[in-house]
Amino acid sequence: MHREKGVHLLVEAFARLRRGEFADWKLIIVGSTDSREGGGGEAYLRQLQQSATVAGEQILFHGPIFDAAVLEEEFRAARIFAYPSLAARGETFGLAPLEAMTHACAVVVSNLGCFRDFILPNETGFVFERGAPDPADSLAVAFRDALSDPIRLERIAKAGQLKSEEFSRARVADKFLIDFERLISDAERTSG
């Protein structure tokens, strides 16, 4: 958990949602605060916990999960996976949302460019405007949009799961092989 991952926005947005018709939802925050593991430190965790008190028992801090089987269980149990990153330079691909999509978890992400290859707004996921005047409100609107229609949420989650298959190891390996073959062919053509 680090400030640039937007976890503070997630807590604030969830607290706003909890005041309305989504009061029965829980937010489980998973991740390390240890700065050696990319976390924002204990002070950031305390700030998040303090902000979370307005939501009562509905926001839980889990800590990091390093066991793949346990992580898969968490993905399967979740309906929505949020990755509200604000790190314009710190995100290169967005593997965590893609992992969630493989488990048919609907994803909510910021509008960073790194997500554009696999998250199509309102088709394979939900997107909020990180540069909005009130980004927590923009995130709350994205959540409200996701939660207001369970059938649509399920459809988008399934579409996201299908989209994630384009990034399977086998498909990515095939794409690399095609690129390597093309490079070899081009090199042979130009050297001969």
Domain ranges of the chain: 3-191
**Interval 37-57: pLDDT, tens:** 877 778 888 888 888 887 778
- The Cα angle at residue 8 between residues 4 and 14, in degrees rounded to 5: 135
Task: Name the pLDDT band for 174 (thresholds 50, 70, 90).
Answer: low
**Interval 134-163: pLDDT, tens:** 999 999 999 999 999 999 999 999 999 999
The answer to whether 140 touches 27, Cβ cutoff 8 Å, is no
* Domain 3-191 belongs in CATH node 3.40.50.2000: yes
The answer to whether 34 touches 156, Cβ cutoff 8 Å, is no
Residue 131, C-beta contacts closer than 8 angstroms, at least 6 positions apart: 111
